[in-house]
Amino acid sequence: MPTHRPTRPRSPLAGPSAGPTSPFPIPLSGPIVKGFGRGSRELGIPTANIPLAGLSVGGHQEVESGVYYGWAGVDVDAEGLRVTEGGKEGGGGGVWPMVMSIGWNPFYKNTVRSVEVHIMHGFANDFYGARMNLLILGFVRPEYDYVDKESLVEDIRTDIEVARRSLEREAYARLKDDPYLTQFQGGEHEQQVAS
């Protein structure tokens, strides 16, 4: 059962400066699906959701509920328009920093676990059905319950800044170039998730 958020100040960084340590990095992949519709509409923080089954396909179904950070490769351009079938050399699309929640979202009393990814980029278009490859590099914090929506939004905005600063460190920044992030062809993970 999640606890309420602590009142103590939060660390401005997550993860060791030397780079990710076990079990990270964790690769995760899947098609972007419609979520609960709360990210953009209620919270002003849009999310790209992938099916929870993506965790089991990657062998990580037991990952702790909480907030994580890393890189998101999506087969869309900077406007959010789909890239034609993988682009050059089986790759394509773009890579952006992300912060994500894996969990039950106790504030909303969800009855199912969800995987919600906030890509730190302003897209002009929705891109449901696009393929997304995630490289999860670290843990920001556990899942908390909140007394009000304002506290939830405040913590999410802090999560975004912690993720941004954490990814700017060299050991994390260089992982943006991992070929996995833009290899969408043959999507073994995606095919298993979608079935």
Phi and psi at 182, nearest 5°, equal -120, 20
Q: How far apart are CA 139 and CA 14, in angstroms?
A: 7
Edge-to-edge strands, sheet with 66-74? 26-31, 131-142, 66-74, 94-103, 114-119, 48-50
Given 62, 64, 89, 116, the catalytic residue: 116
For CA atoms 43, 44, 50, 54, give the dihedral sign.
negative
Find tokens 């990580």 and name the residue.
60
Contact, 184 vs 20, CB < 8 A?
no
Task: Report the 10 Å Cβ neighbour count for 23.
Answer: 10
**8 Å CB contact between 173 and 22:** no
Active site includes 188?
no
Under DSSP, the state recorded for 33 is: B
Q: Tell me which residues are annotated as active site.
A: 116
